[in-house]
Amino acid sequence: MRIDLGSQFSEKYIFLVCLIGSSLLFSACTFVEDRSHEDVLIVDAAESKVDTNKNTEPSKPNPVRIQEYYVQANDTLGTIAAKTMGSQDLYLRLASFNKIDVKKPLHIGQRLLIPPRNYQPSQRQVTISPLKRPNNIATNEPDYSEMNKLIADNKFNQAIDWAISQPALNNLPNLQEILVSATTSQVMIERSKQNYAEALFLINGLLDNHRFAVRPKNDLITLRSELLSEQAAFQAQQKLKANNYSEAYDDLLIAYKANSTYITQIDSFIGSRSQVTEHMHQEALKLYHNQQLDKALSIWDKILAIKPQDDLALVYKDRVIHLKKKLKDL
């Protein structure tokens, strides 16, 4: 039997080569698959790192746009906040933003910055969008030297005439303050002469024909109430000279209602009230002793209307109420 070694060697060689090649091919395929998976991860990580390093500068905040507002006549922080920010309750924020003391008055033509609702103190960039200044606002104060000289010379009526002749009076709180001061001085002169009607005519004319800021207006109203009280108390004195107690009481009641805080410090009122209430007490006690309780009680109520702390009236009123209750229970 003939054995062909060359053929056997060739077959074994071919088989071995194929076996090694298959192993290498399998290993190569497995290696490529793993590297493919790793390559994807490495690429993603590299891209993420590059993106992070590229954007190193912090983002800039958008500028906040703020409007201006010029103060007009009769404006307050509350009314401005309502008109520009939507609610008068934001007036403290408006004041804080403009560094304004809420206790101090605003001035005509004063510029205020109106912060938007989303404004934060950390936002530094501000772009101002100015509003057109209203043409009817007078920002230049007139020269008060002439008026001040008239006041210094005690020519108060002339000073008042100078002030009301100024066309911008309604928009000038400072001039209004000086006008009220001159008016008060002139009223004192009229008071000393008991010319109450003349003084009241002056004040009523100012209030009726001019638009005052809150403080000057309130000062004039208070001054008028004091005059009304004094006038009524003076009239009560005149009635008492004629022993007309009933009409004197009516005047005293008017005086007390007009300004009770002021008039109870005036000697003329205190003296007239003492005379009238003493006379009324005598009448009430007579009615009380005659058991006309309702009439007596009515008089003591009238006394308390002009003198709420009258001890005698309080005591007897309490007695009458208890006595009437006992009589009712019988």
Burial 174-213, CB ≥16 within 10 A → b, else e: ebbbbbbebbeebbeebbeeeebeebbebbeebeeebebb
pLDDT for 85 equals 83
pLDDT for 22 equals 52
Query: What does pLDDT average to in each consecutive run of 10 residues of the chain (330 residues)?
Result: 48 52 46 43 38 50 66 80 82 82 75 74 44 51 86 93 92 90 93 93 95 93 96 96 96 97 94 97 95 94 96 94 84
pLDDT for 208 equals 94
What pTM was estimated for this model as a whole? 0.58
For the chain, domains (ranges, CATH) are 64-129 (3.10.350.10), 145-329 (no CATH)
Rounded CA gap, 207 and 163, in Å? Answer: 14
pLDDT for 59 equals 53
Residue found under tokens 């008109």: 83
Sign of the C-alpha dihedral, residues 322, 325, 329, 330?
positive
pLDDT for 15 equals 55
First to last CA, the chain: 163
pLDDT for 91 equals 79
Alpha-carbon distance values, 75 to 136, 169, 213, 293 (Å): 14, 15, 9, 57
pLDDT for 62 equals 55
3-class SS of residue 157: helix
pLDDT for 14 equals 52
